[in-house]
Amino acid sequence: MKTGKRPAGIPALASDRTIGRLSLYRRMLYNAKSEGRRYIYSHEIASLVGVTPAQVRRDLMSIGYSGSPNRGYDTNELLRSIEVFLYAPDGQNVVLAGVGNLGRAILAYFTGRRPRLQIVASFDSDPMKANRVILGCRCHPLSELAKVVKEQRVDVGILTVPASAAQDVAENLVAAGVTGIVNFAPVALRVPPNVYVEDIDLAMALEKVAFFSRQSRKEPRAGGNE
Amino acid sequence: MKTGKRPAGIPALASDRTIGRLSLYRRMLYNAKSEGRRYIYSHEIASLVGVTPAQVRRDLMSIGYSGSPNRGYDTNELLRSIEVFLYAPDGQNVVLAGVGNLGRAILAYFTGRRPRLQIVASFDSDPMKANRVILGCRCHPLSELAKVVKEQRVDVGILTVPASAAQDVAENLVAAGVTGIVNFAPVALRVPPNVYVEDIDLAMALEKVAFFSRQSRKEPRAGGNE
DNA sequence: GGATGTGAATAGGTTCACAGCG
DNA sequence: CGCTGTGAACCTATTCACATCC
């Protein structure tokens, strides 16, 4: 029994994979809209995002949006529907822990845009970094983590600390109320079951690609993909 | 018909997911070995990596390694077996295209360690960056991409260029002989079927975590995980 | 005619559960 | 006994294929 009681009218919980693709559709629709596109077909969405048309229709089912058989989907309406489904009405706050090379790159990546999902603070154990503004974002010492997370009602933490510190910082984030973590540290975090963790393991990704690139060389027929 | 003819003795092709986990097992075993561990059970591996014991045994089946029922797996032997399976005997060369914030962070991340999988060059369109050594790695103008990739027999490319340039640079990489790409650009690359692409979409990852962190809040029972 | 929405079929990946072994 | 190795069951995700609609 996974899907507990939920407010009537909200369709069945969409899967992890589906949520990821909805995010891709949203970005693509945003671009399409900017280019003045009024209507778009599932096969166009599919080809721009790199999935099958059936997959697109299936995913859109799960947010309960319907297109018209003769003109496809209304770009703007669909965009809004996905945003309503994916985003919190008042936005969500994010913090980043670990302002090293990777942490700074991530900060730079998300700074500015994304009013709905803003990095409101960063943390680092290095006293040289703490209490300064780095890439438009105030950096605090780790000791202030709980205070800042609570005051700013932070939902999500991005972990770019060294592997050795990751579990500890994750626990502090969770204790302070964070329920979602993007984890770049190459360790399996132990968190309570209500906390969602997305691991981004750069070393693993590179090794995987290296492996399959080698397979392609041996056997030019069998290309993997993702 | 997926598995074409293959040299006798090589077990069935392992799936994408399995390869990823083998990389995690390898890293974990490396640490375990450093700590002097001789033998290790599937349930220990599982708990350290964050999967189930049955999953571990199933994955190890696919590389044809067998443990002993009473003492588990020989740490060192298993480590070696995974390395033999995953790694090219003479290593593989990697290049990185796009030396922006993210590109530099990735360079720093992989610099030094990893003799088997080395970033041998980087590329950038900015003339200020080209022809300098950045983070221990020579940066070339994009015009030299084909030459460098061929000369150094590069298998894998890491794409950290802006979305607008990604498809073009990817095509150059592929034309020069690259058969695996780690793609950080938020676009769906169109590549031949023999080229393996692993997408790392930071914006998507963050949006996904934000979504599920919100779910956890509403319904503290239903925690997602990955 | 060419789309959408969707039940049914298929494919894939994970877990169960148990025989076999040291 | 408690582990490994593994067929079989299960569960999830994707794709097929077709009724339906403009």
pLDDT tens per residue, range B133-176: 999 999 999 999 999 999 999 999 999 999 999 999 999 999 99
Percent of chain A with pLDDT strictly greater than 70 = 91
Chain A nearest CA to B88, separation (Å):
8
In tens, the pLDDT along B55-114 reads 999 999 999 999 999 999 999 999 999 999 999 999 999 999 999 999 999 999 998 778
Q: Is B198 on the interface with A (CB under 8 A)?
A: yes
CA of B17 to C1' of D6 (A): 19
Sign of CA dihedral A106, A109, A112, A113: negative
| pLDDT number for residue A4 | 34
Strand D proximity list, CB < 7 Å: A 2, 15-18, 51-52, 54-55, 57-58, 68-70; B 41-43, 53-54, 57-58, 60-61, 65-70, 72-73
Of the two residues A140 and B12, the one the predictor is more confident about is A140
pLDDT above 80 (res B8): no
Show the tokens assigned to A64. Answer: 């309960």
pLDDT above 60 (res A187): yes
Q: How many Å from the N-terminal Cα to the C-terminal Cα in chain A? A: 30
pLDDT confidence tier of residue A196, bands split at 50, 70 and 90:
very high
B133 strand-pairing partners? B138
Helix axes B42-49, B53-62, angle to 10 degrees: 110
Residue among B202, B169, B189 at smallest CA distance from B96: B169
Q: What CA–CA distance (Å, rounded) separates B25 from B133?
A: 34
pLDDT above 70 (res A10): no
Chain A residues in contact with B24 (beta carbon < 8 A): 201, 204
Q: Which of B:134-193 have CB within 8 Å of A?
A: 155-156, 158, 178-182, 186, 188-189, 192-193
In tens, the pLDDT along B205-223 reads 999 999 999 998 876 544 3
Name the closest residue on chain A to residue B197, using Cα atoms: A225
The predicted model gives A182-211 an average pLDDT of: 97
pLDDT above 50 (res B225): no
pLDDT above 60 (res B224): no
- The pLDDT mean for chain B works out to 91
Chain A residues in contact with B225 (beta carbon < 8 A): 193, 196-197
In tens, the pLDDT along B26-37 reads 999 999 999 999
DSSP 8-state assignment for residue B51: S
pLDDT above 60 (res B186): yes
DSSP string over B100-113: SHHHHHHHHHHSSS
User: Residue holding tokens 């992989």?
Assistant: B110
pLDDT above 60 (res B2): no
Task: Name, in order, each residue with C-beta under 8 angstroms of A103's C-beta and a sequence gap of 6 or more.
Answer: A96, A97, A122, A124, A158, A160, A161
CB B198, CB B220: distance < 8 Å: no
Which residue blocks in chain B are alpha helix, DSSP H?
A: 16-34, 42-49, 53-62, 75-86, 101-110, 145-151, 163-176, 202-218
- The pLDDT mean for chain A works out to 91
Of the two residues B113 and B225, the one the predictor is more confident about is B113
In tens, the pLDDT along A40-53 reads 999 999 999 999 99
Which bases of chain D are contacted by protein, using any atom under 7 A from a CB? Answer: 2-7, 12-17, 20-22
Show the tokens assigned to A7. Answer: 């407010």
| Ramachandran bin of A170, using left for φ above 0, alpha for ψ from -120 to 50, beta for the remaining angles | alpha
Report strand pairing: A196-199 vs B137-141: unpaired
* Interchain CB distance below 8 Å, A158 and B206: yes
Report strand pairing: B117-124 vs B92-97: parallel
* Interchain CB distance below 8 Å, A180 and B24: no
The predicted model gives B18-24 an average pLDDT of: 98
In total, chain A counts a number of residues equal to 226
Give helix then strand counts, H and E, for chain A. Answer: 8, 9
| pLDDT number for residue A219 | 60
| pLDDT number for residue A12 | 55
Alpha-carbon distance values, A30 to A67, A75, B119 (Å): 17, 8, 35
CB A129, CB A98: distance < 8 Å: no
Surface-to-core class of residue B58, CB atoms within 10 Å of its CB (0-12 exposed, 13-18 middle, 19+ buried) = middle
| pLDDT number for residue A220 | 53
Residue among B162, B169, B204 at smallest CA distance from B185: B162
Percent of chain A with pLDDT strictly greater than 90 = 85
User: Residue holding tokens 């399976």?
Assistant: B85
Secondary structure (3-state) at B27: helix
In tens, the pLDDT along A112-136 reads 778 899 999 999 999 999 899 999 9
Amino acid residing at A70: N
Secondary structure (3-state) at A222: coil
